[in-house]
Chains A and B, each alone.
Chain A
Amino acid sequence: MIYSRHNIFSRISGSGNYFIVNLLNGSADILTPEEGGMLGDFLGGKEIAPEFLNSLKEQGYFMDEKEEELLYRSKYLDFIDSRDEDEVQLFFVPNYSCNFACTYCYQDEYANPATGLTHKVVDAFFCYINTEFAGRKKYLTIFGGEPLQNSPKQKEMIGYMLRLANDSALEVCFVTNGYMLEEYIEILGNARIREIQVTLDGKGGVHDTRRFLKGGGTTFDKIVKGIDACLLNKIPVNLRMVVDKENIDGLPELAQFAIDKGWTASEYFKTQLGRNYELHHCQATSEKLFSRISLYETLYKMAKLHPHILEFYRPAYSVSKFLAENGSLPDPLFDACPACKTEWAFDYTGHIFSCTATVGKVDESLGTFYPGISRKEEMINLWESRDVTAIDACRTCNLQLACGGGCASVAKNNTGTISSTDCRPVKELLELGFSAYFEKHTS
């Protein structure tokens, strides 16, 4: 028997206790300081007490090497089968233009071809997805730029897209800055809206200094009215706060605002935090950005000082939240990147892309759906085959089944190839997560 290659073992933040997690066989345990010390000593080359070793074997932290390989293969096939049955998220970008001038926009250097969206392009898009993804569960997400702009032509085009989505029995999500939501409520009422993602970066002035209109002008109050209108009309809202060191201190205030508005009590309301980070190009003030782990360290400290934040948003800390809420670990994550598997993106110029990170970058185009259909099969195959079994550095990493190799687009931006890693600080996140969600339960 060997110490499993998929064990993740460390000490819980701010505690003498330890944790051990194994995504391959679904085990997760808290170890006392003595047990953690013994396991640490074993990993340092010392003997381990037989009784404790038996407990670790029973939980699957020691396994027969061949058995572990077979289990890995079996779980991998389960993962592929499950993903083949999963829903496909199809993004469509009707325009890259935007009425906002956010300080951190990652699309600000995109070329924005002046040719507008036409009915022919929309028709070709629905024809393509209904053929290419026939028989697959799927839904549509309309993305931008800003899709909900207040011109009669844009309203007509969005209405046309929603009619075709209805004809294809597709649910629709929008990713919008939320400024014109009130003006679109009637149009949205005619569609099967799954979710509207709206962004507020804080309350009032905190938001308005980051997400303002092109040419100036505040946006917070109008977006709040739009969220209220959605919830009143039972349209689900997913409120995102994009955070960095300049606005994170506004999180408790925004959380309290959402609680006071009654948003957090609504079944139609949920939240997410988006880390401000450099996707395609450097930001002018990169020192304001959090690393992945420093953001969660900050959230961990803030939630202790302002526990009401957890009513607004509960950090995942890798698999910790899932384990706390479900009493089980999620299935092994052989691939964190859905691009060209359960996610595709399309834009109004007729191009096909792998995902929202690459959509709009012409050199990342994987083909066209308009005016003619073309597919760069070699590039598509590379995207489709990327998972932890295809990346050298992942194959020997004990964190692979929690990390999943990260984002292929970020990996490519860092290394030049999608067949490389975008590592997640899984161990450090679990150290925080076990402290946040489990430590109070241990004696």
Chain B
Amino acid sequence: MKSLVKKKTEKTSTKKVAQCCAKTSKTVVGCHD
């Protein structure tokens, strides 16, 4: 088994955004499809 999740101390970003609702890509169509 090889984990793909970095240990907390390795993380650079603490903000986690739900994948469909990233503001940079949801201007209009992201949520319908």
Contacts and interface: CB of A to CB of B under 8 A. Distances in A.
B24 A29 contact: no
B1 A333 contact: no
A40 to B, nearest CB: 15
A292 B32 CA distance: 12
Contact of B1 (A55, A197, A274, A409): A55
Nearest to B6: A327
A29 B6 CA distance: 11
27 contacts: A27-B3, A28-B5, A29-B4, A30-B1, A55-B1, A86-B21, A89-B23, A89-B26, A141-B28, A173-B27, A197-B27, A270-B25, A274-B33, A279-B32, A316-B19, A318-B19, A319-B19, A322-B19, A323-B4, A326-B13, A327-B11, A336-B21, A336-B31, A337-B31, A338-B26, A356-B28, A402-B19
B2 A197 contact: no
A339 B32 CA distance: 10
A270 B24 CA distance: 8
A162 interface: no
Contacts of A338: 21, 26, 31
A272 B1 contact: no
A117 B30 CA distance: 27
B31 A407 contact: yes
A381 interface: no
A386 to B, nearest CB: 12
B9 to A, nearest CB: 11
Contacts of B27: 141, 173, 175, 195, 197, 238
Interface of B: 1-6, 10-11, 13, 16-21, 23-33
B16 A330 contact: yes
A409 B4 contact: no
B6 to A, nearest CB: 3
A404 B18 contact: yes
Contacts of A32: 1
A175 B28 contact: yes
B contact patch SS: loop
Interface string A122-157: 000000000000000000010100000000000000
Interface in A326-365: 326-331, 333, 336-339, 342-343, 355-357
Given A326-B13, A336-B20, A355 B31 contact: yes
Contact of B4 (A270, A277, A407, A438): A438
Contacts of A175: 27-28
A277 B3 contact: no
A115 interface: no
B8 to A, nearest CB: 9
Given A30-B1, A87-B23, A331 B16 contact: yes
Interface in A229-271: 238, 240, 270
Contacts of B18: 79, 330-331, 333, 336, 404
Interface residues of A, number: 59
A97 interface: no
Contact of A59 (B3, B30, B32): B3
B4 to A, nearest CB: 4
A330 B32 contact: no
B20 to A, nearest CB: 5
B28 A143 contact: yes
A409 B32 contact: yes
A275 interface: yes
B29 A240 contact: yes
A297 interface: no
A100 B24 CA distance: 26
A59 B11 contact: no
Contacts of A272: 25, 29-30
Interface in A410-443: 410, 438, 442
A438 B18 CA distance: 21
Nearest to B19: A330
A26 interface: yes
A35 interface: yes
Contacts of A30: 1-2, 4
A29 B29 contact: no
